[in-house]
Amino acid sequence: MRHLLSTRDLDRATAIEILDVAEDMADVQQRAVRKLPTLRGRTVVNLFFEDSTRTRISFEAAAKRLSADVINFSAKGSSVSKGESLKDTAQTLAAIGADAVVIRHPASGAPQVLAQSAWIEAGIVNAGDGTHEHPTQGLLDAFTIRRRIHGDAARGRDLDGIRVTIVGDILHSRVARSNVWLLSSLGAEVHLVAPATLMPVGVGSWPATRGYDLDEALATKPDVVMMLRVQAERMSAAFFPTAREYSRYWGLDDRRFAMLGAGSMVMHPGPMNRGLEISSRAADSAKSTVLEQVANGVSVRMAVLYLVLSGEKGETP
């Protein structure tokens, strides 16, 4: 794999291969020494033009557990115009010998620009670009679902017939987009629920069904309920009247949480707005996969960095 830019262009076989390598990485995480020498001598740069907690530390942990050298570059607040600053930054990273660049950027398509440019040869991993995609989040979510459902027998399996309901701020969510593409390629049935103002135009062409009533969606007892953060920082206008009203109609509150089926799971990519899109009871329950998602994120990112970096210079670690 040369780059990882989106899940939209991942076919089922490739997606399963990444998840299977992540299973191997997860096994390594169970050992007393959680480190592999695989990427020794390789340099991974975390280039973050947007805030992040878990994604950045997760990529850092993943790279370090594969023995790569990691450079964290937080470019937030740069006043240089975006195209230019990206070019200059990329050329700088190329000059210091970056083998892989993990990039988060507020502009949709920025990782693609880097991957297609002549500025840098490194493998590019998209860690979230604007409202476009967040492929490693989609992969870690698929990994988490597959593990919860199939346990130790997860390797090689897809998500055929698993019903996933994604709820909330779909409009601004790259997590929702990456999940829609990936989960549907893996055979899951994806249903989207949002207020009409937060449902993207063009969603009709996505491989997902949609609805506007959360109670109705939960009454069908989906296997997975994925709550999205209300991304206030991406909202230039008012998309709903008040937080209270949002939570009443679109939040996974205690009453709705009680409606969920016994074997169902509650997901959230984090950071959570507790009390807005999800109640603490739901977030901290045994159905919640929130911390599993974080832990699995490290294994999935190890797999992605390994696959992007291993073939590149013709060495087999």
Residues that bind ligand NCD in the complex, under the rule CB under 6 A: 54-55, 128, 134, 137, 174-175, 229, 231, 269-270
- Nearer to ligand NCD by Cβ, of 231 and 288: the residue is 231
Q: Which is nearer to ligand NCD, 22 or 175 (CB)?
A: 175
Give the separation between CA 94 and CA 22, rounded to whole angstroms.
28
Closest CB to ligand NCD among 175 and 265?
A: 175
Q: Could you tell me the smallest distance in angstroms from the CB atom of residue 231 to ligand NCD?
A: 6
Nearest approach in angstroms of CB 54 to ligand NCD is 5
Closer by beta carbon to ligand NCD, 158 or else 246: 246
CB of 8 to ligand NCD, least distance (A): 16
| Residue 105 vs 148, nearer CB to ligand NCD | 105
Q: Which residue is nearest to ligand NCD (CB)?
A: 229
- Least separation in angstroms between residue 169's CB and ligand NCD is 8
SS (H, E, C) the chain: CCCECCCCCCCHHHHHHHHHHHHHHHHHHCCCCCCCCCCCCCEEEEEECCCCCHHHHHHHHHHHHCCCEEEEEECCCCCCCHHHHHHHHHHHHHHCCCCEEEEEECCCCHHHHHHHCCCCCCEEEEEEECCCECHHHHHHHHHHHHHHHHHHHCCCCCCCCCEEEEECCCCCCHHHHHHHHHHHHCCCEEEEECCHHHCCCCHHHCCCEEECCHHHHHHCCCCEEEECCCCHHHCCCCCCCCHHHHHHHHCECHHHHHHCCCCCEEECCCCCCECCCECHHHHCCCCECHHHHHHHHHHHHHHHHHHHHHCCCCCCC
Q: 251 or 269, CB closer to ligand NCD?
A: 269
Question: Rounded to the nearest whole angstrom, what is the least distance from the CB of residue 270 to ligand NCD in the complex?
Answer: 5
Least distance (Å) between residue 153 CB and ligand NCD: 28
We find the least distance from the C-beta atom of residue 137 to ligand NCD, in angstroms, to be 5
> Among residues 120 and 228, whose Cβ is nearest to ligand NCD?
228
